[in-house]
Amino acid sequence: MPRITIRPVTYEEHAGKFRTVTDARGIGTALMMYCDPDDPAYQRAAEACLELEGGSADAEQVRFDFIAALEAAGVFVRDP
């Protein structure tokens, strides 16, 4: 099965250091590192990430949910 991707999302990992992700693996890693699992925004994004990996998600919705979870966790997202 080919890897399904989203439009790139760039977020700040540390002061002045940014990372760009485009797939479920990158999204999942960022969610685990920066987000609170009890936060509903995290839960939506995690579910969307699993659906993306399984091939049943809308990529734009996954991207939206991922950005919302990062922002809820206080992570700066550079969204063009």
Which tens digit of pLDDT belongs to each residue from 2-39?
678 999 999 999 999 999 999 999 999 999 999 999 99
pLDDT at residue 23 in the model: 93
Question: Does residue 57 have a pLDDT over 80?
Answer: yes
Distances (CA, A) of 31 to 1, 2, 49: 24, 22, 10
> What pTM was estimated for this model as a whole?
0.92
Spatial neighbors of 79 by CB under 8 A, at least 6 apart, are: 9, 10, 67
The mean pLDDT of 62-75, rounded to a whole number, is 97
Query: Which H/E stretch holds residue 17?
Result: strand 17-23
For the chain, the average pLDDT equals: 93
pLDDT score recorded for residue 46: 97
Domain range annotation of the chain? 5-78
